[in-house]
Amino acid sequence: MTTITLPETSASEGMKNQPLTPGQLMWRRFRKHKAALFALGGMIVLLLYIWLGGLVFSRGICVPTGEFLTAEAYANCNDTAQKLQPPSREHPFGTDTIGRDILARTIYGGQISLTIGIFAVIVEVIVGVLVGAVAGYFGGWVDDVLMRVTEAMLIIPSLFLLIVLSKAIGGSVPEIQFLGRAFSGSVVVIILVIGFTSWMYLARIVRANVLSLKEMDYISASRALGVSDARIIFKHLLPNTIAPIIVSSTLGVANAITSEAYVSFLGLGVQTPTASWGNMLDSAVKYLQTAPWLWLFPGLMIMLTVLCINFIGDGLRDALDPRSTRNI
Amino acid sequence: MVNYIIRRILQSIPQLFLISLVLFLLMQAFGDPIASLGVRTPPKPADRERLRRQLGLDQPVYVQYVVWLAGNDWMKIDMDGDGVPETPGKRLGVLRGDFGNSLINKRPVSELVTERLPNTLLLMGVVEIVIIVFSLAFGVYSAVRQYSLFDNLFTGFSFIGYAMPIPLLALLLMYLFSINFKEWGLPYLPTVGMFDPQVGRTPGQIALHMILPVVSLSIISIAGYSRYVRSSMLEVLGLDYIRTARAKGLQKHIVVIRHALRNATLPFVTLIGLDIPFLLAGAVLTETIFAWPGTGRLFVTSISQSDFPVLMGILMMTGLAVVFFQLVTDIAYSFLDPRIRIA
């Protein structure tokens, strides 16, 4: 008779076999998407550039006033004697039509553009998730009314809505102080405007998810236990639809940055002297031939950011929803 | 089918009303259109008052909306400002096809729009054809030669193209093909306008002036759609019936085009139909940059002049077009794919 000896497992090996947390699983799948990983690195570099770049690149003597300026004040210093200078040692990206340093403005414009992107998505998610969840959960006439309104919003292409809304409420918000910086009221306007014109697709996604989830047994059980509607929606339904919400809000940041660029390009978005990547492109068409650095650098910044965010969103889709094999 | 069409039309009517009301109210916040006439603003307050009465801007908002919608030929309006309505109104209202007159140059909105519309339709039609042809060609080729040099290169380019903001793309194209080519002594493309005024409005001139706007409008869509065609082609190429067709001895290109492409491009039809609003929006930027005399540029100039009858006209016509194309897409899709039933 032979005895079978089981291979002994040491304590440390036992630790290794512990189940991975959802976060670790997600990171494992995200890592497989090489482009997304690369884009994440790129995004971190971009964030460092616009967050800390100001300390390095945005300092110097503002000639007209003779003061030594740093940070945003330097980016807004206009030295008309230095206008439309091509890239040089002193101004690596050149200067704009009234002699402001474009490198410094891409940094502070980037802060504004990204702030707009993130806050507009927060507005978008709040509205989209609420509308989608309420419509899907309550069904009936509530669903009908909310979905017809959502469809009505989709009838007019969102850029038209954006333009009309920015013209209508532009200039009505005063300058505000936030995080130790003065934000032009137009920034707040554009955040609200982009947020309120982009929630429709998210609302539809959330509604579709809630519709299928609410038929599941655990929801019936919660109802039977007398759990309130709000608690069911926020505690039981929404956490289960978090994956598509995260993916579409990531991609939403890229869309919001592009939307801001388009509206500001048409002169209806962020108002100068506050820089944004969009309004830096604004007057560039007139200097197409004479000063290509005016539009090239802010344009490239928008492109790189959108590119990185798109890849990250793509990677997140793979990571959060292993069933999806779409490789668009 | 007929029921479905009728139901969709009935659904979209209140939606169009809702959106028109919201837009109309928003445009009240645009500021005084009389003040934005610039040098043509009448200097005397009394004249401004009279102009306001003539344009119906003295009325409360809800009256203005009703007049815009249903006209005012069934009521009398007060033209001389004595509080007694005496002049019969002449407007028919949007419901009877009268979009009102421009506040700026007093011309009927329908006339202003129909003057510009052919230019936009021409641009969009060509863009749509370019998008379909190139995204099918690139997508199919990438799928058939998966992971080849072309596929990998094109994948890279398509991600970059998809991330391009329209202004950057347009400016880059202009800079390269007009300005640099001119400097290098190569044949160069014109940057702005629809034709060279010295040559006149010939088809050749229009085609030449269309190249850059068409390319800058279509690249982003081609980048997105060719990825879509590629992935749905890959999916279909892996199916059993394709292997069967190949096993029967059919040539590869026949299988790819006749068998695979047909099924792979079905969802593509929906995308193209739903693309119309994005193209219309893109046209706003492209027409502004390339000074193309279309409705998008009319929209931008009217925004700066607060000319709300023109804006409302363009927006409502756009809305109608979007509703129409959505319906056509749904119907076309159900004809093309017998598995889909609409009810």
How confident is the model over A25-40, as pLDDT tens digits?
888 888 887 888 888 9
Chain A partners within 8 Å of B300 (Cβ): 163, 266
pLDDT score of A14 more than 60: no
More confident position, A10 or A42: A42
Chain A, residues 58-97, CB within 8 A of chain B, namely: none
Q: Give pLDDT tens digits for B61-120.
A: 888 888 888 877 777 777 666 777 777 777 787 788 788 888 877 888 888 888 888 888
Contact (Cβ atoms closer than 8 angstroms) between residue A116 and residue A100? no
Q: Do A160 and B299 touch (CB under 8 A)?
A: yes
pLDDT value, residue A327: 41
Which residue of B16, B171, B235, B279 to mutate against A (max A Cβ within 10 Å)? B171
pLDDT score of A142 more than 90: yes
HEC sequence for chain A: CCCCCCCCCCHHHHHHCCCCCHHHHHHHHHHHCHHHHHHHHHHHHHHHHHHHHHHHHCEEEECCCCEEEEHHHHHCCCCHHHCCCCCCCCCCCCECCCCCEHHHHHHHHHHHHHHHHHHHHHHHHHHHHHHHHHHHHHCHHHHHHHHHHHHHHHHCCHHHHHHHHHHHHCCCCCCEEECCEEECHHHHHHHHHHHHCCCHHHHHHHHHHHHHHCCCHHHHHHHHCCCCHHHHHHHHHHHHHHHHHHHHHHHHHHHHHHHHHHHHHCCCCCCCCCCCHHHHHHHHHHHCCCCCHHHHHHHHHHHHHHHHHHHHHHHHHHHHCCCCCCCC
The residue type of A45 is: V
Chain A partners within 8 Å of B224 (Cβ): 328
Domain map of chain A by residue range?
106-319
**Mean pLDDT across the stretch B50-64?**
78
Query: What would the CATH number be for the domain defined by A106-319?
Result: 1.10.3720.10
Q: What is the pTM of this model?
A: 0.86
* A21 and B CB contact within 8 Å: no
pLDDT value, residue A195: 93
pLDDT score of A276 more than 90: no
Which range (B110-114, B121-125, B330-334) has the least confidence? B330-334
Contact (Cβ atoms closer than 8 angstroms) between residue A135 and residue A142? yes
Chain B partners within 8 Å of A152 (Cβ): 15-16, 18-19
pLDDT score of A58 more than 70: no
Q: Do A155 and B19 touch (CB under 8 A)?
A: yes
Chain A partners within 8 Å of B16 (Cβ): 152, 155
Output DSSP code: residue B199: T
Gyration radius from chain B CA atoms: 25
Domain covering B109-336 assigned CATH 1.10.3720.10 in the classification: yes
Nearest to A310 among B163, B231, B281 (CB): B163
Q: Do B299 and A163 touch (CB under 8 A)?
A: yes
Nearest to B19 among A152, A265, A288 (CB): A152
Q: Do B16 and A306 touch (CB under 8 A)?
A: no
pLDDT value, residue A207: 93
Beta-sheet pairing, B87-88 with A59-62: unpaired
Q: Do B322 and A289 touch (CB under 8 A)?
A: no
Closest CA to B175 of A301, A299, A291: A291
What is the average pLDDT score of chain B?
Answer: 83
Measured in angstroms, the CA of B327 and the nearest CA of chain A are apart by 12
Highest mean pLDDT: which range of A119-128, A283-292, B285-294, B300-309? A119-128
pLDDT value, residue A328: 36
What is the average pLDDT score of chain A?
Answer: 82
SS3 of residue B101 by DSSP: strand
Distance separating alpha carbons of residues A232 and A7, to the nearest angstrom = 48
Chain B partners within 8 Å of A159 (Cβ): 281-282, 284-285
Domain map of chain B by residue range?
33-98, 109-336
Which residue of A33, A144, A145, A164 to mutate against B (max B Cβ within 10 Å)? A164
Q: Give pLDDT tens digits for A144-196.
A: 999 999 988 888 888 898 888 888 887 677 777 666 666 677 888 889 999 99
Q: Do A299 and B171 touch (CB under 8 A)?
A: yes
Contact (Cβ atoms closer than 8 angstroms) between residue B245 and residue B237? no
Q: Do B165 and A149 touch (CB under 8 A)?
A: no
Closest CA to B23 of A124, A155, A161: A161
Which residue of A106, A317, A328 to mutate against B (max B Cβ within 10 Å)? A328
More confident position, A208 or A56: A208
Measured in angstroms, the CA of A259 and the nearest CA of chain B are apart by 9
Measured in angstroms, the CA of A146 and the nearest CA of chain B are apart by 11
